Amino acid sequence: MGRPTVRDDLRALEGYHSPQLDVTVRLNTNEAPSAPPAAFAEAVAAAATGIEWHRYPDRGATELRRRIAELHCTAESDSADGVHVDASQVFVANGSNEVLQTVLLTFAGPGRTVATFEPTYALHQHITRLVGATGVEGRRNEDFTLDVDEIRSVVAEHRPSVTFLCSPNNPTGMVDAPDLVDAALEAVDAVGGLLVVDEAYGQFNPTSAIGRIADDVPLVVSRTYSKTWAMAGARLGYLIGPAWLIAELDKVVLPYHLDAMKQAAGVAALDFVADMDERVAAIVAERNRVSETLVDLGCHVWPSGSNFVLFRPPNGDGAAVWQGLVDRSVLVRNTASWPGLDGCLRVTIGTADDNTVFLSALADTLAASAAES
């Protein structure tokens, strides 16, 4: 019997993955360093007893959307700008990746173009290829900042249906200035496109594009429960945008795509905002400590508004330093596969103890390298 052939445009495509090794300290996937509080797990367990398992879940995730809307009206700094988020402006899915996939299925696809500015989150271009759209890549500067002129040039030349900004950006951790988002919106609007601001790490940074969302503005902002809510295992993400656009996404997503247990977990988490805020503050404090120590060790460190830090070792040999850390049972991300990141490594901020182990292992690795040379 023969094998059916994969689509021609997908034959050479490789899946997105991050290497997993058996190590003592794993700081390569930008997960939260600790689990949610025990009371959260108890609340989820209690909610499970009330689920009608023989029934389909609420297709509209009504309560979850309502609670997320309330969060952005009352619990975040966006409310200081007079922002009102309604449940009709919230879309939820299985992780922010499915959120982004649904956006591209709705607004991109064959014959349409999607723009990114590299280096940035690899899934933006990966999903672009999966939906059959054409990806175009602008370039960030050598210091990984992004120029307004580059945005305008790429958008005017290629007229993308969807343009991505990622702020804080993965893997650099850098934050796009508000005036840059405004300039991108102006450029995208001029060609009838949509601007997607990926804020997977948004709570680690005080600014957000959510305050710019309005019915007549071609902008959506995506968020995830994986990082700040310490719920990577749940695979839950959401998007905030104009109500008319959310209605279009609801037409595209599969029926009953968000199960009842996940909806219950998402609602339960929103009763622990103070815990989330405390977790974020602790990670930011550790991020600052790690960044300062990396500088003391002679590394080049890029400013981060996220829960990770991008750095280049003083010897410039990121691959050798990565292996030296693995030999000492510490795993970070080798980012050499991203454009312009040769010799760079990305470390997720872990617990204080994990970070201390990482910094000690890095110091030993660098000392051993210097002794050999």
Query: Quick one: pLDDT at residue 21?
Result: 83
Please say which residue of 271, 292, 307 terminates a domain: 271
Q: Using an 8 Å Cβ cutoff, are 72 and 79 in contact?
A: yes
Residues 220 and 303 in one domain: no
Burial letters 323-339, b for 16+ CB under 10 A, else e:
ebbbebebbbbbbeebe
Measured over the CA atoms of residue 305, residue 309, residue 315 and residue 319, the dihedral's sign is negative
Q: Using an 8 Å Cβ cutoff, are 286 and 352 in contact?
A: yes
Domain range for 212 is 47-271
Residues 244 and 329 in one domain: no
Rounded to an integer, what distance in angstroms lies between the CA atom of residue 4 and that of residue 285? 53
Query: Quick one: pLDDT at residue 370?
Result: 81
Query: Quick one: pLDDT at residue 76?
Result: 46
Please say which residue of 271, 300, 321 terminates a domain: 271
Domain count, the chain: 2
Residues 99 and 225 in one domain: yes
Q: Using an 8 Å Cβ cutoff, are 300 and 312 in contact?
A: yes
Nearest Cα neighbor of 238 from 32, 87, 113, 125 is 87
Nearest Cα neighbor of 202 from 221, 219, 182, 184 is 221
Residues 22 and 169 in one domain: no
Nearest Cα neighbor of 33 from 222, 266, 284 is 284
Q: Find the helix packing angle between 260-269 and 38-48, rounded to 10°.
A: 140
Beta 113-118 vs 162-166: how paired, if at all?
Answer: parallel
Residues 155 and 248 in one domain: yes
Residues 97 and 165 in one domain: yes
Q: What is the CATH number of the domain that holds 24?
A: 3.90.1150.10
37 lies in some domain: no
Residues 340 and 363 in one domain: yes
Please say which residue of 208, 243, 271 terminates a domain: 271
Residues 106 and 128 in one domain: yes
Burial of 348 (0-12, 13-18, 19+ CB in 10 A): buried
Q: Render each residue's pLDDT in the chain as its tens digit; 373 residues.
A: 778 888 877 766 676 666 678 899 999 999 999 999 999 999 999 999 999 999 999 999 999 999 999 999 854 443 344 468 999 999 999 999 999 999 999 999 999 999 999 999 999 999 999 999 999 999 999 999 999 999 999 999 999 999 999 999 999 999 999 999 999 999 999 999 999 999 999 999 988 999 999 999 999 999 999 999 999 999 999 999 999 999 999 999 999 999 999 999 999 999 999 999 999 999 999 999 999 999 999 999 999 999 999 999 998 899 999 999 999 999 999 999 898 999 999 999 999 999 999 999 999 999 998 887 6
Query: Quick one: pLDDT at residue 77?
Result: 43
CB atoms closer than 10 angstroms to residue 130: 16
Q: What is the CATH number of the domain that holds 253?
A: 3.40.640.10
Written as six digits, the tokens of 219 are: 């902008």
Residues 341 and 229 in one domain: no
